[in-house]
Structure 1
Amino acid sequence: MTSTERTTAHDYDRHPVREGFAAGTNFAAATLLLVVSILGVLQGISALANDEIFVAGIDYVYKFDLTTWGWIVLILGLVGPVIACGMYTGAVWARVGAVIIAAVSIIVNFLWLPYYPIWSLVLIALDAVIIWAVATWSRDRADGV
């Protein structure tokens, strides 16, 4: 068998289309994180500035002050763009930070379900896509190593 007939798993992973897709998912995850963070900042500011715009529907087990929630979302939203910028450069710390901040955001938005359920579900879905995209991207594959 010649060397051209041998195909290894490593060669399969280094396919140009797969490498481009992997790099694209990192860019998309960074962009999604940036957008979700900006939306979080705006949502946090609106919770801090005017608590009356948020209406709780049914009684919910997890109750907390809207001002506290506003500060949590605002802080997460301010950290997100820093991590997104690091992801654009492919930094490992940014990838780890993106997974952590997206996971925390999923938890926070789950707690936010009684106030705006559809909005919370949209943000939970976007955070799940961020985690998926970051977890599937490999810098070694994207660099062609």
Structure 2
Amino acid sequence: MTQQPPTPEHHAEAHAGVTGATSSWAAGGTVFAGVVLLVDGLLNILKGISSITSDDIYARINNYVYRFNLTGWGWVLVVLGLIAVITGLGLLTDALWARVLGVFMASLSLVANFLWLPHLPLWALISIGLDAWVIWALTAHRSPRSPVL
């Protein structure tokens, strides 16, 4: 009697107890990531518009290492916000391109919020934490129809 090599189904059944809880967290996290990117994109658009129209509403930091023009930064926020909204909508439809772009957008958002830290410290720290969650959720879970890379 010859021994058959294990099938992917057998492998999945053997590890279902180990990865089941993590997988359900990651699957729910993917939906959460889509919503976070959608809302964060909308908020970035609003922050960008307020920075473009009146950059006096943000704290002036004179000795900060990363100084930049707040009006120019506002345009960057508007563009990144639009891309994040589109990516969030794509994640809610479970599109593979949105998963890849979502990790990239969350990484950009994490860096942008680090640079934005002296202007809105509490919100920047909250956004950095949410961006880290989005990156984890999008890289930890792969839906069954996603191709193996």
TM-score (norm 1): 0.83
Letter in 2 for 1:48: I
Equivalent position to 2:42, from 38, 61, 71:
38
Other-structure match for 1:10? 12
Q: How many residues align?
A: 136
State yes or no: 1:49 paired with 2:62.
no
Equivalent position to 1:130, from 130, 134, 138:
134
CA RMSD of aligned residues (A): 2.3
Distance 1:58 1:9, change over 3 A: farther
Other-structure match for 1:83? 87
Query: 2:27, 2:137 within 8 Å by CA — same for their partners in 1?
Result: no
Q: Which runs of 5+ in 2 are unaligned?
A: 1-9
Q: Which runs of 5+ in 1 are unaligned?
A: 1-7
Return the structure number with greater relative CO, CA threshold 8 A, min gap 6. 1
Other-structure match for 2:104? 100
Displacement of 1:22:
3.3
Other-structure match for 2:7? none
Other-structure match for 1:67? 71
Displacement of 1:13:
4.0
What are the superposed Cα offsets for residues 25-47 of structure 1, whole Å, 9 maximum, x if unpaired?
11111011111111111111110
Percent identical residues: 39
